[in-house]
């Protein structure tokens, strides 16, 4: 059997608190049994994912969905459960005031309110010990002429500059981009170029977050990953799968080959090394599948893609590339992709005292029955209604 290459131990996946709560589409949120009723219970569920995979040690929070009166208490609770709090996700997209935008809104009063929320999120990071402030802006316009495209970029730059100045030495901004939705003509941060331009203007503590579902169909995401790593500005992934738009399905479900190509560029660019500072986060909603199992499956899918990427014979690949042997070079990559790494990962888990089959072990643990019996009236993640 092929040996599992070193490097897999470096892979730490962050799960999102909102993945454990009820979610749905704009048509309906189907309530599932046993879903968390508060942020503490979301963390308890996230801890299960880590307990069975050994690869999901942190949980991202979303403010205000995860608002509590004492964040240090929440952080201590997480540690007690064997996990830590991760990125703080700001929310400037669910208030009536943000009809025409948040930090890019024409009215300075609304811009102030939005920027103040971002600053409040940095205060929360101080209490939770979080390194990352993840910013996704729904800001944009629907009609040509509705607002001035350039002025909106200036307003965005001003808000980011103020937040950047508030960051501690070890804190960062992760600036996420998204092609469209909810804005349909211009989104103020639509692509990695715009995000990178703002990050470069801000300074080294500003990096780009690549949500794999936020591109036009056919976009070569691994090229973006390679370019950002090369520039030292790949801060994070929001992993998920999409068939059409921002579907937020389980990562690796729609296109496992794309996930492999992305992870190959991560490995190639040194992004797996913790010193590179790339956060491997999931941004998914489990609408029809059980949520904790959905997260476990996603973690396993990222592990499998990473293991395959680590198996690429770098020397053979370079030799074929340098020799201009197109087919041999392609074959080196495909050989790694076609390797069944599941037995290797089963061994990796057993060597770490974990069950070889995390999903079966979770199902047998009785945790699900426990939460179904103990939790009544779980909350909605915050999306859709
Ligand atoms: C929105 O489409 C994004 O993917 C975000 O990352 C969003 O901020 C996240 O889903 C939770 O806030
Ligand atoms: Zn995202
Ligand atoms: Zn999204």
Burial 340-363 (b: 16+ CB within 10 A, else e): ebeebbeebbeeeebbeebbebbb
What is the structure's pLDDT at 4? Answer: 79
Q: How far is the CA of 89 from the centre of ligand 3 (A)?
A: 12
Atom of ligand 1 nearest to the CA of 246: 2
pTM, two decimals, is 0.97
Q: How far is the CA of 178 from the centre of ligand 1 (A)?
A: 9
Residues flanking ion ligand 3, Cβ below 5 Å: 246
Tokens 């074959």 correspond to 331
Q: Is the CB of 248 under 6 A from ligand 1?
A: no
What is the structure's pLDDT at 379? Answer: 72
Residue 231, phi then psi, degrees to nearest 5 = -90, 0
Let me know the angle formed at the C-alpha of 237 by 234 and 238, rounded to the nearest 5 degrees.
150
Q: Is the CB of 211 under 6 A from ligand 1?
A: yes
Closest C-alpha to ligand 1, atom 7: 136
Residues near 72 by beta carbon (within 8 Å), at least 6 away in sequence:
127, 128
Closest C-alpha to ligand 1, atom 6: 136
C-alpha to C-alpha distances, 270 to 171, 232, 321, nearest whole angstrom? 21, 10, 19
Q: How far is the CA of 63 from the centre of ligand 2 (A)?
A: 14
What is the structure's pLDDT at 6? Answer: 85
Q: For the chain, give percent helix, strand, coil, nearest 5.
A: 45, 15, 40
Least distant ligand from the CA of 237 = 2
Q: Is the CB of 178 under 6 A from ligand 1?
A: yes
Atom of ligand 1 nearest to the CA of 18: 11
Q: How far is the CA of 49 from the centre of ligand 1 (A)?
A: 21
C-alpha to C-alpha distances, 195 to 65, 99, 153, nearest whole angstrom? 25, 22, 11
Closest C-alpha to ligand 1, atom 3: 136
Least distant ligand from the CA of 246 = 3
Atom of ligand 1 nearest to the CA of 240: 4
Residues near 136 by beta carbon (within 8 Å), at least 6 away in sequence:
89, 90, 93, 176, 178, 189, 209, 211
Among 211, 241, 279, 284, which is best to mutate for testing ligand 1, by the most ligand atoms less than 8 A from CB?
A: 211
What is the structure's pLDDT at 384? Answer: 43
Closest C-alpha to ligand 1, atom 9: 283
Q: What is the CA radius of gyration of the chain?
A: 21
Atom of ligand 1 nearest to the CA of 89: 12
What is the structure's pLDDT at 140? Answer: 98
Beta strands at 186-187 and 58-62: parallel, antiparallel or unpaired:
unpaired
Torsion of CA 159, 162, 164, 168, to 10 degrees: -140
Atom of ligand 1 nearest to the CA of 65: 12
Q: Is the CB of 355 under 6 A from ligand 1?
A: no
Q: Is the CB of 45 under 6 A from ligand 1?
A: no
What is the structure's pLDDT at 333? Answer: 98
Least distant ligand from the CA of 215 = 3
Q: Is the CB of 283 under 6 A from ligand 1?
A: yes
Closest C-alpha to ligand 1, atom 12: 89
Closest C-alpha to ligand 1, atom 5: 136
**Do you find a cis peptide bond into 64, omega within 30 degrees of 0?**
yes
ipTM more than 0.85?
yes
Atom of ligand 1 nearest to the CA of 238: 6
Do 208 and 228 touch, CB atoms closer than 8 A? yes
Q: How far is the CA of 283 from the centre of ligand 2 (A)?
A: 5
Q: How far is the CA of 211 from the centre of ligand 2 (A)?
A: 5
Domain at 8-374: CATH code: 3.20.20.150
Per-residue pLDDT 10s for the chain (385 aa) are: 667 788 999 999 999 999 999 999 999 999 999 999 999 999 999 999 999 999 999 999 999 999 999 999 999 999 999 999 999 999 999 999 999 999 999 999 999 999 999 999 999 999 999 999 999 999 999 999 999 999 999 999 999 999 999 999 999 999 999 999 999 999 999 999 999 999 999 999 999 999 999 999 999 999 999 999 999 999 999 999 999 999 999 999 999 999 999 999 999 999 999 999 999 999 999 999 999 999 999 999 999 999 999 999 999 999 999 999 999 999 999 999 999 999 999 999 999 999 999 999 999 999 999 999 999 877 767 654 3
């Amino acid at each position: 059997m092929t040996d599992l290459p070193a490097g897999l131990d470096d892979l730490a996946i962050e799960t999102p608190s909102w993945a454990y709560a009820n979610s749905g589409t704009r048509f309906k949120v189907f309530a599932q049994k046993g879903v968390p009723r508060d942020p503490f219970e979301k963390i308890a569920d996230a801890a299960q994912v880590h307990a069975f995979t050994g690869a999901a040690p942190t949980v991202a929070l979303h403010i205000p969905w995860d608002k509590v009166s004492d964040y240090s208490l929440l952080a201590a609770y997480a540690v007690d459960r064997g996990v830590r709090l991760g990125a703080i996700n700001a929310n400037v997209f669910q208030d009536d005031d943000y009809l025409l935008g948040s930090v890019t809104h024409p009215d300075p009063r609304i811009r102030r309110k939005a920027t103040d929320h971002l600053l409040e999120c940095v205060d929360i990071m101080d209490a939770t010990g979080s390194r990352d402030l993840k910013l996704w802006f729904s800001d944009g316009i629907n009609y040509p002429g509705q607002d001035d495209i350039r002025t909106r970029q200036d307003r965005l730059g001003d808000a980011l500059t103020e937040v950047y100045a508030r960051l501690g030495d070890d804190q960062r901004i992760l600036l996420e981009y998204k092609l469209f939705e909810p804005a349909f003509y211009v989104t103020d941060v639509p692509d990695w170029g715009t995000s990178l331009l703002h990050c470069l203007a801000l300074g080294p503590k500003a990096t780009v977050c690549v949500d794999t579902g936020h591109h036009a169909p056919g976009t070569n995401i691994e090229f973006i990953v390679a370019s950002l790593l090369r520039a030292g500005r790949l801060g994070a992934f929001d992993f998920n799968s999409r068939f059409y738009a921002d579907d937020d399905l389980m990562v690796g479900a729609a296109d496992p080959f794309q996930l492999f190509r992305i992870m190959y560029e991560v490995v190639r660019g040194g992004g797996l090394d913790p010193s590179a500072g790339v956060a491997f986060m999931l941004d998914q909603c489990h609408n029809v599948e059980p949520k904790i199992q959905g997260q476990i499956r996603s973690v396993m899918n990222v592990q499998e893609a990473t293991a395959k990427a680590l198996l690429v014979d770098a020397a053979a690949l370079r030799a074929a590339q340098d020799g201009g042997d197109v087919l041999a070079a392609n074959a080196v990559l495909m050989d790694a992709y076609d390797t069944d790494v599941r037995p290797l990962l089963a061994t990796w888990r057993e060597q770490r005292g974990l069950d070889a089959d995390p999903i079966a072990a979770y199902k047998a643990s009785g945790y699900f029955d426990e939460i179904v019996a103990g939790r009544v009236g779980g909350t909605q993640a915050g999306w859709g209604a």
